[in-house]
A and B are shown apart, each in its own frame.
Chain A
Amino acid sequence: MNKVTRPSRAGDRVFSALVTGAGVLILAILAGGALFLVVKGWRALTAKAEDLPGGETFLRYVWPLAYGTILSATIAIIIAVPLAVGVALFITYFAPRRLANLLAALVDLLAAIPSVIYGLWGIAVLGPAAVGLQDWLSDHLDFLPFFKGPPSPTGRTMFVLGIVLAVMILPIISAIVREVFAQTPRSLREGSLALGATRWEMIRMTVLPFGRPAIISASMLGLGRALGETMAVALILSVSGGVTLNLISSGNPSTIAANIALNFPESSGLAVNLLIATGLVLFAITLLVNSAARLIIGRQIRE
């Protein structure tokens, strides 16, 4: 900032107050919202177990939901990250230059499709299509706890949900990774090619090491998105509430977000407070994941 003072003018003061006010308003909205959520949720946190719907303590109520949330998001990340890196590599270094922009726009389009439509697609198309695969998995890989079965005949399972979530977060991850891949210093890339590296060796030795922090932080941002995803889960998953590693049976734990969506419309009284309290837990989890991601991004990319 330069220290040269300009004559102070009324217009300047008004405008400065206006824009500062907008910033303060954002802080106020967030603080207000968070405060009211805590106020509403607190009643459920402190209520006695027998007063809560279901007659369990808050922790017992939220634990299977938190487990389901983390499990589904983990499956999504495991599937989505390699695919997203592949997509980003394809667009930046493999696709014909003229096509690259178009393909990038197509992938971004995936991110723009509303989540409820992914849910419909999952339940109507992917679920039935996955039944055969799940049967095969339970026939041949049932020694793994994940595929113990019995396989669900409808495909409304954790496994299918994980795939749908992966499809939903793939464009988010690949957009960030793509941008960083494209920023790999030209001198490094062309240097390695000039030394006789093949395209893959160039990528392995310059692009991937350069982009590694971006891959990690983009994955965590994707994880945050998958943790908070609601409608796809509410539509696809057939819920029984048990905590299990079995991914292909019809008895699955629900997730925090889906549980809110499924129960909130018909709830009243303390049940609403209980759902809001679970919402706070979800918020805390996503905040943690996102902050970690921002920390890594901030260290690598800014400036």
Chain B
Amino acid sequence: MTVAGYTSELRRSGTLPGWAPWATYGAGSALAVILSRATGINVALLVVAAIILAGVAIYVWSRALEGSRRATDRMATLAVTSTFAIAMVPLVSLLATVIRKGSDRFDPGFFTDSLRNVVGAGGGAVHAIVGTVIITGLATFMAVPIGILTAVYLREYGAGRRLAAAVTFFVDVMTGIPSIVAGLFAYALFALFLGPGVRLGIVGAVALTVLMIPIVVRATEEMLRIVPNSLREAAYALGVPKWRTIVRVVLPTALGGIITGVMLAIARVVGETAPLLVTTGVITSTNWNPFEGRMMNLSVFAYFQYKTPGVPPEPYFARAWAAALTLIIIVLVLYFLARLVSLRWGRTEMQR
């Protein structure tokens, strides 16, 4: 900032009124609407045009009254705020769409009937809901102990060991595995023993386990990191063995955060489609046994109802949207419970 620039700044010491940004936004939008009427321009371009026009307007106005530095600042503020607003549009639109289209078939029948012998309208997704619960439950049952124990190993035992470095590295690798590749992983594993074409609930659960483990490990590690060392040392000083210190002192202290992490991990995998598409197969009736026969789940249900509808397609689409709504409700409930737990039991690192 040169001295000359600074003095010119001082000379124009006026300030824009507080409503100025809103006014320019309004004026920009109005101008864009007029332009669009004149040129027949598209809605998306219209929004962009409105933002650019508002930016120019506030820059010119502010530059005249407050100088160029303030003007740039105001323009940047407008740009950043608009970016956020634009980024929120898909979220709002998506939620509105799912609720509107999903509520058509969000009726008792959807939760009591399967698609067995159903052609056209009617039927429900109870077979898919059962499958989702069993597969996700099994995955949680496998991933949570492995994940927590691994995190304990890395944090409490691993310092400076080669094995720990290798585990850390491969947990990172797991985080980046595309979910469809995790599905192929599980498929290849089981196909080797049970022959090609294997389609079982348990195979899907293993695929989800591969996806869940790194999330649980990361969350638990993060929580163990913030357990104060003085707690561990106090226990050692009292002659408590290391394993009892971990089980009775360290883990309970971190419990709130670990539960939060586990719930977010469940929320993350409960809607997974791709790995289950290649591992659990498609079926129209309820199957309670993950070790025998194909198993449906909500996301694959939604996918196939939309991708391969019958004639007329409307009832199939309606079922797909109802499944989507159910999934979103499950995810939201898990998500808010996780938030609640983390608020109730103190500071946590939320999901990355």
Given A40-B191, A114-B272, A136-B45: A94 touches B80 (CB 8 Å cut-off): yes
How far is it, in angstroms, between the C-alpha of A20 and the C-alpha of B177 when the chains are bound? 23
Asked if A106 contacts B88 (CB within 8 A), the reply is yes
Given A167-B90, A224-B176, A283-B177: A136 touches B274 (CB 8 Å cut-off): no
Q: How many pairs, one residue from A and one from B, have CB atoms within 8 Å of each other in the complex?
A: 286
The one of A1, A36, A90 that contacts B188, using a Cβ cutoff of 8 Å: A36
B159 touches A (CB below 8 Å) = yes
Asked if A231 contacts B303 (CB within 8 A), the reply is yes
Asked if A33 contacts B185 (CB within 8 A), the reply is yes
Shortest CB-to-CB span from A238 to chain B, Å, is 12
Asked if A120 contacts B320 (CB within 8 A), the reply is yes
B23 touches A (CB below 8 Å) = no
Type the 1/0 row for B285-320, where 1 means its CB is closer than 8 Å to any CB of A: 000000000000001001100110000000000001
Asked if A117 contacts B180 (CB within 8 A), the reply is no
For residues 137 through 192 of chain B, which have their beta carbon under 8 Å from a beta carbon of chain A? 145-146, 149-150, 152-154, 156-160, 163-164, 166-167, 170-181, 184-186, 188-189, 191-192
Q: Which residue of B lies closest to A4 (CB)?
A: B236
How far is it, in angstroms, between the C-alpha of A118 and the C-alpha of B235 when the chains are bound? 50
Asked if B87 contacts A170 (CB within 8 A), the reply is yes
Given A11-B244, A26-B146, A198-B72: A89 touches B178 (CB 8 Å cut-off): no
Chain A residues with CB under 8 A of B351: 108, 111-112, 175
Type the 1/0 row for A101-140, where 1 means its CB is closer than 8 Å to any CB of B: 0010111111111111111110111100110110110000
The one of A23, A230, A279 that contacts B164, using a Cβ cutoff of 8 Å: A23
For residues 88 through 110 of chain B, which have their beta carbon under 8 Å from a beta carbon of chain A? 88, 90-91, 93-94, 97-98, 101
Shortest CB-to-CB span from B218 to chain A, Å, is 13
Chain B residues with CB under 8 A of A268: 196-197
Q: Which of B36-44, B115-123, B254-262 contacts A (4 or more CB under 8 A)?
A: B36-44
For residues 38 through 89 of chain B, which have their beta carbon under 8 Å from a beta carbon of chain A? 41-45, 69-70, 72-73, 76-77, 79-84, 86-88
Asked if A228 contacts B178 (CB within 8 A), the reply is yes
Given A19-B153, A106-B88: A26 touches B188 (CB 8 Å cut-off): no
B328 touches A (CB below 8 Å) = yes
How far is it, in angstroms, between the C-alpha of A24 and the C-alpha of B274 when the chains are bound? 27
Interface-centre pick from B98, B166, B243, B339 (highest chain A CB count, 10 A): B243
The one of B41, B158, B189, B328 that contacts A117, using a Cβ cutoff of 8 Å: B328
Q: Which of A44-52, A183-191, A242-250, A256-264 contacts B (4 or more CB under 8 A)?
A: A256-264
Given A200-B73, A276-B184: A26 touches B159 (CB 8 Å cut-off): no
Shortest CB-to-CB span from B68 to chain A, Å, is 11
Excluding A23-B149, A201-B69, 13 further A-B contacts by CB distance (< 8 Å) are: A22-B150, A26-B171, A105-B339, A112-B264, A112-B351, A114-B270, A117-B302, A120-B306, A130-B44, A200-B76, A230-B180, A261-B278, A282-B178
Chain B residues near A (Cβ < 8 Å): 1, 41-45, 69-70, 72-73, 76-77, 79-84, 86-88, 90-91, 93-94, 97-98, 101, 145-146, 149-150, 152-154, 156-160, 163-164, 166-167, 170-181, 184-186, 188-189, 191-192, 196-197, 210, 213, 236, 241-244, 246-247, 264, 267-268, 270-274, 277-278, 281-282, 299, 302-303, 306-307, 320-321, 324, 327-328, 331-332, 335, 339, 350-352
A-B pairs with beta carbons under 8 Å apart, 10 shown: A11-B244, A19-B149, A34-B185, A114-B271, A116-B324, A117-B271, A117-B328, A120-B306, A275-B184, A287-B173
